[in-house]
Chain A
Amino acid sequence: MNPSAPAAAQSSVPPTLPQHPEGSIYHITSSKVHMPGTNGAAKPGAKPAGGARASDSVPNATMIKWLRDMILIREFENRCAQAYQQAKIGGFCHLYLGQEALAVGTINSINHDDPIVTAYRDHGHALARGMSPRACMAEMFGKLAGCAKGKGGSMHMFDKPNWNFGGHGIVGAQTPLGAGLAFAAKYELEVMKRSVDGSPAKKKVSLAYLGDGALNQGALHEAMNLAGLWGLPVIFVVENNRYSMGTAIERGTTMAHDLPAKGRAYGMESMTIDGQDIRNLYDHFKPLVDRCREAQRPAFVDLLTYRYQGHSMSDPQKYRVKDEVEMFKSRDSIALLEQHLLTERKCISEADVDAIVAECRALSEDSVNFAESAPMPGLEELYSDVYQNIQPNLSPTREYVHGAKNELL
């Protein structure tokens, strides 16, 4: 029942990782992890079965849009960092810098009404799914115009119109939700024979994103078992940026050199994909989505990436050497796609890129200005959205109310 897993897909990958000065604390040296060939399956530049690259058939205009979406995330996150340092954003703030190709590549491999759910590093997914930068930034500023009316914050980017079932704060806790989204979509198809809103049911695929840190949470393993057991069309997308907070993957996770083994254990098609090269990501991920949709079954993907910033804005990053960060920056996902469009497809010019950057910078700036001047939620919002069917005596101290309409809806 386990479909044979295709060879892990890697494109050009850097040679060896720089060593941490206290390298001895690593049980396995970093260089052994996720480097091509270490599990006997990964082949640099391997093409997907069939030979043709899925990304080759992506129109120029679409690929330029990908570039633009990635640049928007980059510019937006830079603005977040700034606003956080100015104490305009409170609480925790986890930036997506370096990982832009993952959200953009995976989300562009699915349909708009395919549900997604993710963890707390969620701004990139929200923007890639179509949330306005204003709603996203206003949420972090704790304003009523935020996607969750300022009640969620950085870790809770919910967007119903765009089928984004939220960023979630507890590591791994979102993965059973991903299985549940897939369960519901399959239930529409097979039991109700229509969708919950009355329209015809269709074959959907859900994406449940997680960081590599969540690989060690029980919730994920229960979710994968249920998905494998019941053939739920969900893809567990590991955004493997090599660190769970400050703990390098091989210090916290078994089989770090072959994560797809974990997916295979639950009977699902599993693969490693170099996620920094969005074309390579799409080449392997899009056909996988299509297979999961068609056969209504789950999959597990280890997407290799790297975060340029610390775990959160308060992270001094003592656990990794600067050279390592620089090495990954030398294979920056935006630069790779830009290069492809400039020199191989020749469909844009340097001036076009500059214009895109300027547009995204302006949008991000606008989002900050908007968030800054937007009104705070009224104090009545404190007591709204606690219950849908409000009745007396639900609380000893407060009567709950129905709150403002969410701006997004």
Chain B
Amino acid sequence: MPTAFADIDFSKPLPSATGDRQIQFREALREAMSEEMRKDDRVFLMGEEVAYYNGAYKVSQGMLEEFGPQRIIDSPISENGFAGLAVGAAMYGLRPIIEFMSWSFSLVAADQLLNNVPKMLYMSGGQWGCPIVFRGNNGAGGQLGSTHSWTVESMYATVPGLKIAIPSNPYDAKGLLKTAIVDNDPVFFLESERMLSDKGHVPEEEYYIPFGKAALRRGDWSGERDSDITLVSFGRPVNFCIDAADELEKDGIVCDVLDMRTVRPLDIDSIIQSIKRTNKIVVVDQCWPFASIASEVVTQVCEKAFDYLDHQPVRVNTDDVPTPYAKNLEMEYLPHKGKIMAAVKSVVRR
């Protein structure tokens, strides 16, 4: 029996994120898809190399064997075609999961992704939505050059009608993807090639992580000790923020690290809750700075928590240039621990 979105009790506490069932990020994604596919035969996976190649990045390894070629479907290199096919199939009543080998390649399907997927429900006066999960690698994979290193969240997040999830660890990857698959709205699910081999505890028991609820990775809601600054991030850079926070703690600077998990919906409430006790915020975002998610967070903070700020909000984005190939230039281009620590120190003067 398929799990219906309406039947999930999101108020139920999530299972512990610590334990010794250590699996890779890619395995967590696979578990999420396989579990939902076992329950719901309307769900299928389509994309380049997902079947016989076992996934370009081995996310779908073994799924062909379990579900067969009619549900794990190798598509030709034809993003606009199969993204549009998914729209038709979803309107008809199926629940496609579409894998983009890279979100960089989603750009050739931009018309389907920007026009049809998010707007179908509205244009049709509520008759048809597009319950599709589009997922794949997002962000710089490591010296892939300018065209293959897109971070698409700021560009796509501007369109109403979409939900966008960006997990930072295996536990979230599984719980968020399971929610994405049962959600009746289209979900853009952004993974990172650089995190697919990351290992973490993923519990045996089934769980669905609600969208729009940030996780506090460092700091403490109990208020025993107020943090000095709020660090907000999502996806891979959350891990850089955690590293920076651990390092800063040695210098006596305590950070709240908020992992947004989803950027649409954006859990601005948790951000404001944190700012109320830190009065300072740094947003770390691997998109370009201009009109980025970081810009959006800063704007909403200014609109909704202006009086709580003791320092102007600060953004750490990728540099405002195309992604370079050279290793040292790419390193310098991306947000990293050093940049985050410098930004925090510019705000928290000790």
* A→B interface (CB under 8 Å): 115, 117, 146-152, 156, 158-160, 165-166, 168-170, 173, 175-185, 187, 190-192, 195-197, 218-219, 222-223, 225-226, 229, 384-389, 391-396, 403, 405-406, 408-409
User: In the bound complex, how far is the Cα of B77 from the Cα of A218, in angstroms?
Assistant: 13
Asked, given contacts A179-B88, A223-B84, A226-B78, whether A166 binds B266 with beta carbons under 8 Å apart, the answer is no
| Residues on A with beta carbons closer than 8 Å to the beta carbon of B125 | 146-152, 158, 385, 406
| Residues on A with beta carbons closer than 8 Å to the beta carbon of B82 | 176, 222, 226
B86 CB–A CB distance under 8 Å: yes
15 of the cross-chain contacts (CB-CB < 8 Å) are A147-B125, A150-B125, A165-B88, A168-B116, A173-B84, A173-B112, A173-B115, A176-B81, A180-B89, A191-B41, A191-B44, A385-B126, A394-B160, A395-B160, A396-B268
User: In the bound complex, how far is the Cα of B266 from the Cα of A150, in angstroms?
Assistant: 30
Asked, given contacts A158-B125, A179-B88, whether A396 binds B299 with beta carbons under 8 Å apart, the answer is yes
Dominant SS among interface residues on chain A: loop
User: In the bound complex, how far is the Cα of B186 from the Cα of A386, in angstroms?
Assistant: 11
Docked-complex contact A165 and B121, CB < 8 angstroms: no
| Residues on B with beta carbons closer than 8 Å to the beta carbon of A158 | 123-125, 127-128
Docked-complex contact B87 and A176, CB < 8 angstroms: yes
Residue A388 contacts which of B89, B111, B184, B264 (CB distance < 8 angstroms)?
B184
Q: How far is the CB of B166 from chain A (nearest CB, A)?
A: 15
Docked-complex contact A387 and B161, CB < 8 angstroms: yes
Docked-complex contact A218 and B126, CB < 8 angstroms: no
Docked-complex contact A173 and B116, CB < 8 angstroms: yes
| Cβ-Cβ contact count across A and B, 8 Å cutoff | 185
Docked-complex contact A222 and B81, CB < 8 angstroms: yes
Docked-complex contact A197 and B211, CB < 8 angstroms: no
Residue A386 contacts which of B160, B268, B296 (CB distance < 8 angstroms)?
B160
B42 CB–A CB distance under 8 Å: yes
Docked-complex contact A385 and B122, CB < 8 angstroms: yes
Docked-complex contact A409 and B127, CB < 8 angstroms: yes
Q: How far is the CB of B112 from chain A (nearest CB, A)?
A: 7
Docked-complex contact B265 and A392, CB < 8 angstroms: yes
Residue B81 contacts which of A147, A166, A225, A392 (CB distance < 8 angstroms)?
A225
| Residues on A with beta carbons closer than 8 Å to the beta carbon of B300 | 396
Residue B87 contacts which of A169, A177, A185 (CB distance < 8 angstroms)?
A177
User: In the bound complex, how far is the Cα of B83 from the Cα of A156, in angstroms?
Assistant: 20
Interface residue stretch chosen among B91-99, B199-207, B220-228, B242-250 = B91-99
Q: How far is the CB of A321 from chain B (nearest CB, A)?
A: 35
B80 CB–A CB distance under 8 Å: yes
Docked-complex contact B78 and A222, CB < 8 angstroms: yes
User: In the bound complex, how far is the Cα of B299 from the Cα of A55, in angstroms?
Assistant: 65
Docked-complex contact B265 and A219, CB < 8 angstroms: no
User: In the bound complex, how far is the Cα of B89 from the Cα of A385, in angstroms?
Assistant: 20
Q: How far is the CB of B113 from chain A (nearest CB, A)?
A: 11
Docked-complex contact A175 and B84, CB < 8 angstroms: yes
Docked-complex contact A166 and B123, CB < 8 angstroms: yes
User: In the bound complex, how far is the Cα of B82 from the Cα of A197, in angstroms?
Assistant: 24
User: In the bound complex, how far is the Cα of B213 from the Cα of A392, in angstroms?
Assistant: 10
Q: How far is the CB of B310 from chain A (nearest CB, A)?
A: 23
User: In the bound complex, how far is the Cα of B111 from the Cα of A218, in angstroms?
Assistant: 11
Kindly report which residue of chain A lies nearest to residue B124, judged by CB atoms.
Answer: A158
